Structure 1
Amino acid sequence: MTLTRQEVSQHNSRQSCWVVIHGAVYDVTDFLDSHPGGPQVILRCAGKDATEDFDSVHAPELLSEVLPESTVRGHIDLAELQVLDAKLNDTMQTKSDSNAPPSLHSLINLHDFEHVAQKHLPANAWAYYSSGADDEISKRNSARAYQKIALRPRILRKIPSVDTTTSILGHSVSLPVYISPVGIAKLAHPDGECALAAAAGKRGLVQVLANGSSMPIERVMQSRNSPDQPIFQQLYVNKDIQKSVDTVRRAEKAGASAIWITVDSPVVGKREMDERLNLNVTGQGVAKIMASSTSPYIDWEILTWLRQYTSLPVVIKGIQCVEDAVVAYEHGVQGIVLSNHGGRSQDTAQSPLLTLLEIKKFAPHLIGSKMQIYIDGGIRRGTDVLKAIALGATAVGLGRPFLFSMSAGYGEKGVLRMLDILRQEIETNMVFLGATSLKELRPEMLNVSRLERDLIGSVKL
């Protein structure tokens, strides 16, 4: 059945809610309350074309998964749709011509990508990606912690080449760097997590796919460069535990190589920039909508539960003190991520690098053990990477920089450019330090006295 815009626009309430997506008209009235982001996200598009909103965060496959054929009421009049598309294209072309992004060649560090992203990302995307909790003290301190550590280079060491390879959960990688789980990557670029997978494969890295990925894991797997390219699946425990079971089983069936369970955000942090921007639209920020289904009612027994459903390696993401690092080790996990969620959860939580120093001082037996230690938050330079490795980390995760590198239409090419910049910085500074491989990086190459002042005096393990 062919419908006009006028006919569709009459169904603009909670009692009768129709939306248009790619020309098809869906009756989503009965779906409103089960939408993970809440009904308001859909109601703002009631009686209208929701294609742009849908495509910004979802893959097309999701339609058939959540909306049965019986919800289709017809299709919008093609002539009306073409007129709208023509106007939209004219507007976008004008905007593109007057606000063209700089060439990738002109971007020479990771901060450059962030500046471009701030200028070219939609306001809601920038707020969601960049915002931290409360006063954003933890967000800033995560980066400042690296600046408090000074390097102690060794000279006159013959360094014909450097080896930056390492192993993450048994998978060989070309750099001690991985892609942290970042949600709704389609807000940065239409290819979203698929662009990240393609770039990771070409540069020999590991990607951790976010629980809130805007692309289904099956399509991300298809974007890899080879069947051996590892993808790990992030897991937030859902209030509806069966949905978490489904996530684990789907990931394992798709070929994921590990499960990274995130535990540092049992509730969502107060991300004020995100909330303020979306207050008049949905009444809450994108982050709060995304996290509304996360369960705060879990404890260490969740690991026993998880092992009922998978034999894949398990990593706990969100360790913020040495005491919990020791408990994780005793529970036999294969890895931990020292993380305060990028400063997005509890503000004034200590920096992950300080947690690594705690482990080095109070539980040194964890470093180099069967449990690998990863760290994220605030890493923007090759020197940051080397400092973390020298202190005992296996690898470091970056999140926001990967999203920023895709923005402004750069996509996969932007990610590749960013990784090449980071590699050059890592290799150059290894030569300065006098290290031919990551194994030669030692704490003695660092002066950590300024950061050690922030260490807790003693702990009871």
Structure 2
Amino acid sequence: MEVTNVMEYEAIAKQKLPKMVFDYYASGAEDQWTLKENREAFSRILFRPRILIDVSKIDMTTTVLGFKISMPIMIAPTAMQKMAHPDGEYATARAASAANTIMTLSSWATSSVEEVASTGPGIRFFQLYVYKDRNVVAQLVRRAERAGFKAIALTVDTPRLGRREADIKNRFVLPPFLTLKNFEGLDLGKMDKSNDSGLASYVAGQIDRSLSWKDVKWLQTITSMPILVKGVLTAEDARLAVQSGAAGIIVSNHGARQLDYVPATISALEEVVKAAQGRIPVFLDGGVRRGTDVFKALALGASGVFIGRPVVFSLAAEGEAGVRKVLQMLRDEFELTMALSGCTSLKDITRNHIITESDKYRTVSRL
């Protein structure tokens, strides 16, 4: 079957992957309300396309933290990619590099920062979980920096792991032939079989629940890499992120895997953008499956988006070729959306190109 859109990879991945692995990638927290809402909230935003504009040339290039990329679509950190395909993070890194965009490597990758760097040139960010042992954190950050990574995406919404019931039922554990490569050789306990989710037990043992804004400052003392704060959903925290010296914000609800009944990221985006006041860029992840979603995020003030599940599902289906295809499909759809909306560059995409639920009550005054 020819794959014609990003969503179709999920069904293929479901057929190919062991149940424990597919459920780990696909599921959300508790009732999975936010998981559904991350998608559905996009569908409630409509376009106000402008016509009779010369769209024969369209420029999708942008700059993220000073790095020029081909489009505002980047790869979010997703853990343990070798569960999806033997090439795992290597394939993802090569696909991102080929598309001339940014890949974010998870702390919990099944390939190390050095291994990913060895795949060749590319702009890469490193997602960081802060462990109780700060020496481990400092070491890891230094290794990422040495391996040529360009920024840290600090995940701030995981003092404890969300309740993912599929993982509890399946007693999720990393398959025996894989390891969390960035922590190999460090005495950090293994992700063992437990009566629960093995990952939840691992997090409870290793991740620092006392993480606070002062640690964002501490990170700046140990690295010159810019720090993106990933997991912001409110104006209050956006203002604190700016004050703490963050280089950017990623509006994220962790793919709906942490606290259920938080809003979809696309619904929280505008509040965060307004609070940041243009002082630092704001990005979004969660629920992006179409080029139209990318356009909607940019119209609401995002500087770019990150995709997570589409990467692991396409990786499971077709390896590196799958990830390349996902990036290409999103790129093509986004370009088409721009053309049909009357935008020839990213700066042309404005708030007036869309209508949201809240606008429906005040449409007339805005026109």
Q: TM-score, normalised by structure 2?
A: 0.89
What is the rounded CA distance, in whole Å, between the counterparts of 1:107 and 1:387 in structure 2? 24
Q: Following TM superposition, where does structure 1 have runs of at least 4 consecutive aligned residues deviating by more than 6 angstroms?
A: none
> Conserved in 2, the CA contact under 8 Å of 1:177 and 1:398?
yes
The correspondence of residues 253-272 of structure 1 with structure 2, limited to 5 A, is: 253-272=146-165
What is the rounded CA distance, in whole Å, between the counterparts of 2:148 and 2:54 in structure 1? 43
1:358 maps onto 2:255 in alignment: no
Structure 1 residue 285, shift from structure 2 partner: 2.0
1:442 corresponds in structure 2 to 350
> Conserved in 2, the CA contact under 8 Å of 1:430 and 1:436?
yes
What is the rounded CA distance, in whole Å, between the counterparts of 1:290 and 1:170 in structure 2? 36
Task: Say what the alpha-carbon RMSD is for the aligned residues.
Answer: 1.6
Paired residue secondary structure (2:55): coil
Structure 1 residue 290, shift from structure 2 partner: 5.0
The correspondence of residues 74-153 of structure 1 with structure 2, limited to 5 A, is: 102=1, 106-153=2-49
1:209-236 deviation line (CA, Å, top 9, x unaligned): 1010100111101113x2xx21111111
Structure 1 residue 452, shift from structure 2 partner: 8.0
Structure 1 residue 254, shift from structure 2 partner: 1.2
Structure 1 residue 357, shift from structure 2 partner: 2.0
1:158 maps onto 2:54 in alignment: yes
1:288 corresponds in structure 2 to 200
Counterpart AA for 2:242: Y
* RCO higher in structure (CA 8 A, sep ≥6): 2
2:90 corresponds in structure 1 to 194
2:324 corresponds in structure 1 to 416
1:77-122 deviation line (CA, Å, top 9, x unaligned): xxxxxxxxxxxxxxxxxxxxxxxxx5xxx00101100111111111
Paired residue secondary structure (1:308): helix
Which one of the candidate residues 106, 109, 112 is aligned to 1:216? 112
Structure 1 residue 282, shift from structure 2 partner: 3.2
Paired residue secondary structure (2:7): helix
> Conserved in 1, the CA contact under 8 Å of 2:35 and 2:255?
yes
1:391 corresponds in structure 2 to 300
> Conserved in 2, the CA contact under 8 Å of 1:275 and 1:284?
yes
Structure 1 residue 450, shift from structure 2 partner: 4.7
Structure 1 residue 137, shift from structure 2 partner: 0.7
What is the rounded CA distance, in whole Å, between the counterparts of 1:452 and 1:209 in structure 2? 40
1:328 maps onto 2:241 in alignment: yes
Structure 1 residue 260, shift from structure 2 partner: 1.1
> Conserved in 2, the CA contact under 8 Å of 1:212 and 1:290?
no
What is the rounded CA distance, in whole Å, between the counterparts of 1:291 and 1:161 in structure 2? 49
Change beyond 3 A, Cα 1:384–1:287: farther
Which one of the candidate residues 127, 130, 133 is aligned to 1:234? 127
Which 5+ residue runs of structure 2 have no aligned equivalent? 174-192, 362-367
Structure 1 residue 245, shift from structure 2 partner: 1.1
Question: Looking at CA atoms only, which structure, 1 or 2, has the larger radius of gyration?
Answer: 1
> Conserved in 1, the CA contact under 8 Å of 2:230 and 2:249?
yes
What is the rounded CA distance, in whole Å, between the counterparts of 1:219 and 1:122 in structure 2? 26
> Conserved in 2, the CA contact under 8 Å of 1:368 and 1:392?
no
Change beyond 3 A, Cα 1:162–1:248: same
> Conserved in 1, the CA contact under 8 Å of 2:233 and 2:272?
no
2:139 corresponds in structure 1 to 246
Which one of the candidate residues 155, 171, 182 is aligned to 1:278? 171
What is the rounded CA distance, in whole Å, between the counterparts of 2:172 and 2:76 in structure 1? 28
1:300 maps onto 2:218 in alignment: no
> Conserved in 1, the CA contact under 8 Å of 2:270 and 2:301?
no
What is the rounded CA distance, in whole Å, between the counterparts of 2:51 and 2:226 in structure 1? 41
Counterpart AA for 1:377: G
The alignment covers a number of residue pairs equal to: 341
> Conserved in 2, the CA contact under 8 Å of 1:367 and 1:392?
no
What is the rounded CA distance, in whole Å, between the counterparts of 1:396 and 1:266 in structure 2? 24
Counterpart AA for 1:368: G
> Conserved in 1, the CA contact under 8 Å of 2:20 and 2:172?
no
Which 5+ residue runs of structure 1 have no aligned equivalent? 1-101, 454-461
What is the rounded CA distance, in whole Å, between the counterparts of 1:367 and 1:114 in structure 2? 37
> Conserved in 2, the CA contact under 8 Å of 1:367 and 1:373?
no
